[in-house]
Structure 1
């Protein structure tokens, strides 16, 4: 089997109907040495391989082998992890490489729109919808599942508490919004904390922020209408990253709705309480809510609590303090 065909088979198994369309553009994301490395590693073993083992496969010098591996890690083609105290390496799949490309590299907008749409839909189907479908029924029954991306919806005050606790910060593009481009929301909005920020710095990726810059960015994104998502267990598990989302591009929000996991993924922990007698009918809540919980009907604001996901965007900017967020057990 030709190298390119074998590489596509193991790394980017697109449906046959899409392959001819996306094929030329996929190859722009890899060079021949990277494709050879992935194919050779897959032929050798499905388990992570040591640096020495990979050097035997590539036949490169120790220095050149390390350069190739480091480049593949930065470009989202390989990952590493500790196995019995030794660092070992394994191939990722196309979604990670594509996310890395749109987040850190140039050229995505040079790809024709029809190809971008095919790749975006494939990411949605394969990486999110199909990957997490088996967990959907468990989540509906309240059974524990593995940790999910964009796990919880957080209020602004909770997010600023994360900033206060962190010591290192970096910001990168939101890979969902950079890939999908459904809206005009700002793209450089994904914030990494502490070890994740330090990991980016080691790779020469991302933009470093001070604590004050991170705080100001989050407040500005909140005012612009971004929804904050992260793990609410960060005090027990440690800080990682914060996404500032829109429900039109964010793959977890979209997959959650399609899987019947509304308010379970990302998980809601609050519901808005609306006091009509305090409302001055300015309509700001209508424009800020991404879920249609507020409607302007017959010149008055109507609130549909069942549509609320508990993001707090409405209460954060309500000029008459007619909206407060009430916690609930979800």
Structure 2
């Protein structure tokens, strides 16, 4: 079944999609700048960038319509696309990049800094590499996202962009709500509070998924926006997005009370963000709820069990479940283990203590890759790229 074809698209979005398709890439060509007289070269640069992004572990699927080129054109100038399209997964010194692309080191540094501000490259110690579209470039657009970009991203997902979530290992991993799992069962990489306690610098920003759904006027929830948390084990220069460690811990509590699912990078060590997600807005969780991609997120190694003797059938756990994995059968709540992602929200909300988290059998436990480098290698292998 094509899950995309079953989605109800509002009239204003259908009109936008039709207009975009009719206009084609030609209308996105700038009327000024060094490439103004060579539109074919411009399209070539955006296509090269799309291909470069698709060669990264995270993937950036190409579509028949080419909507992804219009999306990239919305984010990057032609000069930026030209340079970013020549970057790869390998971190290179600025001097090496400059020599390869035929620019001075000074000019290359200036352009790389601009690309870094747009989330297109990751830099460290004077070395730069291409950043993935998700998680990376797209999330960096949270401050520039507008109505047009929101539509373009949604259309891209509908036309095949969502397929990046089929590849394994998954990009995101669910960690259970605090206190939902017995202390002697909790796996070290699932203790998100412990991870936060070990870090020093904390910043928060709006959830781009809810921002996008707001702009589409398709948002189905009223859950909080400013819930995306990132942190580092070292101090950073001051930012107006800084919060204290205590505020970060409180955010975990508040998002759990609101019914949001904690998602982190799908690795054991070195993850530095926590997304707090809902099944209606989050692009990754929508992989399951909307696009029919069962493993778009790595489920936690636990599942919910409801005691039929204690359950009153009040239905609160059903309202709290972002994956619609619980239903009431003959007055008792029942969990669909195939849909349960182990977030633990049903456990922490049950006033009757009728729900508990059960550790999966040893043979069903899937440990995430040790670190990001191993994750990238595993994903490239599974995609047949190495």
Normalised by the shorter chain, which TM-score bucket?
0.7 to 0.9
Q: What is the aligned residue count?
A: 294
Is 1:278 matched up with 2:316?
no
Per-residue deviation, residues 280-321 of structure 1 (Å, max 9, x unmatched): 4432112111233333456x2331343433211111121222
1:207 aligns with: 241
User: Which structure features the higher share of helix residues?
Assistant: 1
Contact 2:201 2:231 in 1 (8 A): yes
2:173 aligns with: 151
Per-residue deviation, residues 23-50 of structure 1 (Å, max 9, x unmatched): 3x642312243133235x36xx996543
Q: Distance in 2 between matches of 1:35 and 1:314?
A: 45
Q: Distance in 1 between matches of 2:136 and 2:336?
A: 40
SS at match of 2:298: coil
TM-score by length of 1: 0.73
- Measured after TM superposition, the shift of residue 114 of structure 1 is 4.5
1:160 aligns with: 193
2:157 to 114, 120, 132: 120
Q: Distance in 2 between matches of 1:175 and 1:309?
A: 22
Contact 1:229 1:245 in 2 (8 A): yes
Q: Distance in 2 between matches of 1:7 and 1:93?
A: 17
Gaps of 5+ in 2: 1-37, 52-61, 180-190, 366-386
Name the Cα RMSD after superposition: 3.5
TM-score by length of 2: 0.63
1:304 aligns with: 335
Q: Distance in 1 between matches of 2:119 and 2:258?
A: 30
Q: Distance in 2 between matches of 1:327 and 1:78?
A: 39
Q: Distance in 2 between matches of 1:251 and 1:314?
A: 22
Is 1:15 matched up with 2:53?
no
Output aligned runs, 1:259-278, within 5 Å: 259-261=293-295, 265-278=297-310
Contact 2:150 2:213 in 1 (8 A): no
SS at match of 2:309: helix
Q: Distance in 2 between matches of 1:272 and 1:126?
A: 28
Contact 1:169 1:194 in 2 (8 A): yes
Summarize the Cα distance change of 1:15–1:54 in structure 2 as closer, same or farther, 3 Å threshold: same
Gaps of 5+ in 1: 136-145
Contact 1:51 1:89 in 2 (8 A): yes
Is 1:172 matched up with 2:194?
no
2:264 to 221, 230, 233: 230
Q: Distance in 2 between matches of 1:276 and 1:240?
A: 39
Q: Distance in 2 between matches of 1:273 and 1:282?
A: 16
Q: Distance in 2 between matches of 1:113 and 1:194?
A: 29
Specify which structure has the bigger relative contact order, considering alpha-carbon pairs within 8 angstroms and separated by 6 or more residues: 2
- Measured after TM superposition, the shift of residue 120 of structure 1 is 3.3
Q: Distance in 2 between matches of 1:10 and 1:95?
A: 17
Is 1:90 matched up with 2:124?
no
1:193 to 217, 231, 237: 231
2:103 aligns with: 59
